[in-house]
Amino acid sequence: MTQTKPALTVDEMLAITAAHLEAEGRIDVDATLDTMAENPWWEMCTLGVRVEGREAMREWYSRVLPGVMALLTDVRERVITFGDNYLVVEHLIDVNFPDGTNRTCPHIATFYFEDGKLVGERAYTDVHLAQVWSDVLGPEFMSLPGVSPAYA
């Protein structure tokens, strides 16, 4: 008989997600990765990018955290919903863009959990904020090991 691991409680998923987002906010790549399972993945659907594996995720966070987090001036949760081992969060993110403009950007992320850790995240974000992500990743990012088109 196959045993399945019980789903996390909502409180457990919220606590893991809060620790993950707090580490991202501190621009702490190691602490961010510590919240994640052994073989994590991340998809930025707006850019069509999928990042898979610990080393690729380290490279992703090494570029994105310092390049994007410093531009965020406020993050507000609007909606949280959940199911077995996933949590969907809608944010409104206030961004001070490199050109000096300020904009509130909608962002939706689905967090997936496995063995008590975050295993994956799929995000849909405002096109203006996605362009900042694209700029900080650079054109060669898609050629790195563990990085592929999200819908291939």
Does residue 27 fall inside a structural domain? yes
Does residue 28 fall inside a structural domain? yes
| Domains in the chain, number | 1
Does residue 79 fall inside a structural domain? yes
Residue 6 has pLDDT above 70, yes or no: no
H or E stretch covering 45: none
| Amino acid at residue number 3 | Q
Does residue 47 fall inside a structural domain? yes
Give the CATH number for residue 41: 3.10.450.50
89: containing domain: 10-138
Does residue 73 fall inside a structural domain? yes
Q: What pLDDT is attached to residue 1?
A: 46
Does residue 144 fall inside a structural domain? no
Mean pLDDT score across all residues of the chain: 93
Does residue 150 fall inside a structural domain? no
Does residue 149 fall inside a structural domain? no
Over the stretch 116-131, which tens digit does the pLDDT of each residue have? 999 999 999 999 999 9
Over the stretch 60-113, which tens digit does the pLDDT of each residue have? 999 999 999 989 999 999 989 999 899 999 999 999 999 999 999 999 999 999
